[in-house]
């Protein structure tokens, strides 16, 4: 095994196996783009599992597209007569524009299958492609590709001197067009992510900006290249660059918006204190358990407010840790089930808002710290079950709210959109869970004693009547925690 046995080879293993610098740099660029996209996904509160899937799909589609584009426009007859040579990527010959086009198509199909917003994900990923391209262009330097017209040796005096030896090709010096494109890509990334993003008006703006920027710099670069792929008398990359510029401009002007139909928001609710007025039943059931174990003095007015939201396990482990938690939970549930129908009722206008959502084709689900079967029985008891399509209880997930696991699992199971997502709840825990899932959160102000704490959670909106949710849904804008 030998590192750097030649200019083009990164690693030689035996006589027949080698890893080219070109491949190393392409993969390095892809990895850096992945890390940047990972950071943007985290900021969006997006499950990074989608990014992992996309990376594999886009990487392979990009390589295939870039190679086929090169083969078609470099010397199609040669590759048709020597089809195995199409696979020889290690010898160089990848056309970035072809790679991006096929990768974009693959990503579009993936987002449709997963019911994700293509434009929102493209805004997060497309700018990072510029960084990948900037790094990948150095593979052209290693292979002595992507060069311009012949120049004098003095051209490399000063800041470009480190490129001089590499640009000496066939007894002449050439302009390092790969270098100029690499720098142009980095500048584009900085402008799009740190400047344009601050003024973004709609989804897709960053994607269209990528098309505009890369189309512009690639058109300029190709005009100076001495080794361009040609289609008749035309430089193929310049033709493609003009298409890029047109697509970017038309997209930025909003002409493609009808192609990306915006779905209605998915609407998820908490149960206790949001759709059902179960406060009295919860407090009475806790009071019964505290009294049974001689802890009634701990069940103060402050604790009676505290128990409205957290899981049974959290409360009992905090206040009665010396008794088996599961035993306490069963005692609570037995009492709560016995009194449930007598002391509980639907919240004011809960039936009306659920009926409205159902009649207007909104997807509706419930995420609760109650058990799945208990949620189901509660909904059936108050005849709300026909309006709710999916429920997730405490026994369906490992991590309870404020973890977004329940929300994420429900969306994944039903393949409902997460890019237009509203979560309604009455506790800080509910709001945090919604925020952690990237949802547009609505705090329901039912209990005045919880109002101050709930407002500190900084939900996107607060309502004191569930019917006001109709106005929020009809007001427009994107339903994500940051409106992106």
pTM of structure: 0.82
260: Cβ–Cβ under 8 A, 6 or more apart, which residues?
117, 118, 119, 203, 204
Which residues have C-beta within 8 Å of that of residue 240, sequence separation ≥ 6?
97, 215, 218
SS3 category, 170: coil
- pLDDT tens, residue by residue, 355-386: 999 999 999 999 998 889 989 988 998 999 99
Share of the chain above pLDDT 70, in %: 95
Tokens of 375: 């949620």
Question: Residue 172 phi/psi, 5° resolution?
Answer: -140, 160
* Domain ranges, ordered by start, for the chain: 2-259, 266-275+345-474, 279-343
CATH class of residue range 279-343: mainly alpha
270 is catalytic: yes
- Residue of 75, 157, 227, 270 marked active site: 270
Q: Hey, is 238 helix, strand or coil?
A: helix
Q: What are residue 461's phi and psi, to 5 degrees?
A: -145, 160
pLDDT tens digit sequence for 405-462: 999 999 999 999 999 999 999 999 999 999 999 999 999 998 777 788 889 999 999 9
Task: Decide whether 266-275+345-474 matches 279-343 in CATH topology.
Answer: no
pLDDT of 91 reads: 63
Residue 204, pLDDT > 60, answer: yes
The tens digit of pLDDT for each residue in 33-63 reads: 999 999 999 999 998 889 999 888 888 888 8
For helices 96-114 and 48-81, the axis angle rounded to 10 degrees is 140
Distance from C-alpha of 145 to C-alpha of 179, rounded to nearest angstrom: 11
User: What would the mean pLDDT of 294-316 be, rounded to a whole number?
Assistant: 87
In contact, 253 and 208? CB cutoff 8 Å? no
CATH 3.40.50.1000 fits 266-275+345-474, yes or no: yes
Cα(131)–Cα(187) distance, rounded to whole angstroms? 9
pLDDT score at 151: 92
Over 80: is that where the pLDDT of 228 sits? no
Taking alpha carbons only, the member of 181, 178, 153, 157 closest to residue 168 is 153
Task: List the single range of 2-16, 156-170, 327-341, 364-378 with lowest mean pLDDT.
Answer: 2-16
Start-to-end CA span in the chain (Å):
50
């Amino acid at each position: 095994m030998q590192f750097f046995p030649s200019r083009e080879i990164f690693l030689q293993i035996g006589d027949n196996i080698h890893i080219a610098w070109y491949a190393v740099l392409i993969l390095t660029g892809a990895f850096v783009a992945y890390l940047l996209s990972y950071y943007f996904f985290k900021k969006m509160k997006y499950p990074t599992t989608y990014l992992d899937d996309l990376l594999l799909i886009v990487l392979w589609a990009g390589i295939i597209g870039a190679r086929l584009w090169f083969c078609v426009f470099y010397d199609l007859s040669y590759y048709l007569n020597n089809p195995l040579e199409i696979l020889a990527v290690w010898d160089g010959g990848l056309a970035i524009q072809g790679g991006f086009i096929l990768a974009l198509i693959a990503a579009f199909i993936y987002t449709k299958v997963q019911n994700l917003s293509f434009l929102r994900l493209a805004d997060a990923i497309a700018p990072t492609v510029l960084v990948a391209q900037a790094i990948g262009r150095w593979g052209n330097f290693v292979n002595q590709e992507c060069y311009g017209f012949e120049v004098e040796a003095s051209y490399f005096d000063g800041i470009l001197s480190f490129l001089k030896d590499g640009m000496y090709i066939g007894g002449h010096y050439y302009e390092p067009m790969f270098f100029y494109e690499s720098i142009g890509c980095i500048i584009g990334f900085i402008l799009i992510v740190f400047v344009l993003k601050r003024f973004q008006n709609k989804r897709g703006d960053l994607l269209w900006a990528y098309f505009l920027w890369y189309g512009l710099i690639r058109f300029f670069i190709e005009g100076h290249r001495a080794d361009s792929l040609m289609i008749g008398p035309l430089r193929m990359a310049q033709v493609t660059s003009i298409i890029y510029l047109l697509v970017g401009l038309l997209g930025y002007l909003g002409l493609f918006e009808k192609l990306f139909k915006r779905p209605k928001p998915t609407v998820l609710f908490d149960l206790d204190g949001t759709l059902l007025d179960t406060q009295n039943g919860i407090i009475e059931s806790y009071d019964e358990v505290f009294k049974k174990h001689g802890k009634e003095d701990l069940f103060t007015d402050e604790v009676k407010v505290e128990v409205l939201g957290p899981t049974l396990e959290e409360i009992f482990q905090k206040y009665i840790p010396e008794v088996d938690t599961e035993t306490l939970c069963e005692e609570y549930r037995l009492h709560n089930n016995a009194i449930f129908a007598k002391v509980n009722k639907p919240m004011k206008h809960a039936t009306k808002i659920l009926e409205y959502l159902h009649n207007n084709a909104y997807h509706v689900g419930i995420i609760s710290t109650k058990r799945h079967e208990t949620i189901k029985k509660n909904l059936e008891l108050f005849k709300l079950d026909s309006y709710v399509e999916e429920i997730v209880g405490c026994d369906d997930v490992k991590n309870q709210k404020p973890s977004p696991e329940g929300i994420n699992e429900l969306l994944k199971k039903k393949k409902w959109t997460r890019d237009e997502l509203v979560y309604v709840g009455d506790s800080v825990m509910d709001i945090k869970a919604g925020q952690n899932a990237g949802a547009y959160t609505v705090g329901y102000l039912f209990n005045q004693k919880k109002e101050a704490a709930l407002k500190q959670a900084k939900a996107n909106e607060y309502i004191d009547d569930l019917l006001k949710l109709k106005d929020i849904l009809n007001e427009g804008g994107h339903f994500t925690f940051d409106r992106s």
